Chains A and B, each alone.
Chain A
Amino acid sequence: MLMRDLAQLLPGARKGNTLLPLLFFLAVAMLYPFAVGPNPNVLAATGGGVIWVAALLAAILPLDRLLAPDLESGFFDQWALRGIAEEVVVAVRLLAHWISFGPFLMLAALPASALLGIDGETLRTVELGLLAGTPGLAAIGIIIAAVTVGLRSGGAALSGLLVIPLAVPLLIFGAGSLSTGGEGGIALTAAISLLLVAIAPFAGGAAIRAAREG
Chain B
Amino acid sequence: MEPCRLAARDLACRRGERLLFRGLSLELVGGQALHVTGSNGTGKSSLIRILAGLLRPYSGEVERRGSTGLLDQTMALDEHLPLGRALAFWAGLDGATPVTVLARLGLAELLDVPVRYLSTGQRKRAALARLLGQDAQVWLLDEPLNGLDRDAVALVEALIAEHIAGGGLALVASHQPIAVPGMGVLDLPDYARGLAA
Contact = CB atoms under 8 A, between A and B. Distances in A.
Contacts of B68: 81
A8 B70 CA distance: 24
A80 B68 CA distance: 10
Given A4-B89, A14-B80, A72 B70 contact: no
Interface residues of A, number: 16
Interface of A is mostly: helix
A78 B76 contact: yes
Contacts of A84: 93
Contacts of A82: 67, 93-94, 134
A127 interface: no
Contacts of A4: 78, 89
B75 A73 contact: yes
B128 to A, nearest CB: 14
Closest 9 CB pairs of A and B: A74-B74, A74-B76, A78-B76, A75-B76, A81-B68, A73-B74, A81-B70, A4-B89, A77-B54
A1 B52 CA distance: 22
B56 A78 contact: no
Interface residues of B, number: 25
A17 B50 CA distance: 37
Interface in B70-114: 70, 72-80, 89-90, 93-94
Contacts of A78: 70, 76, 90, 130
A58 B68 CA distance: 40
Given A74-B73, A77-B54, 20 more contacts: A4-B89, A14-B80, A73-B74, A73-B79, A74-B72, A74-B74, A77-B72, A77-B74, A78-B70, A78-B90, A80-B54, A81-B52, A81-B54, A81-B68, A81-B70, A81-B136, A82-B94, A212-B54, A212-B55, A213-B56
B181 interface: no
Given A14-B80, A81-B69, A72 B54 contact: no
B69 A74 contact: no
A42 B47 CA distance: 64
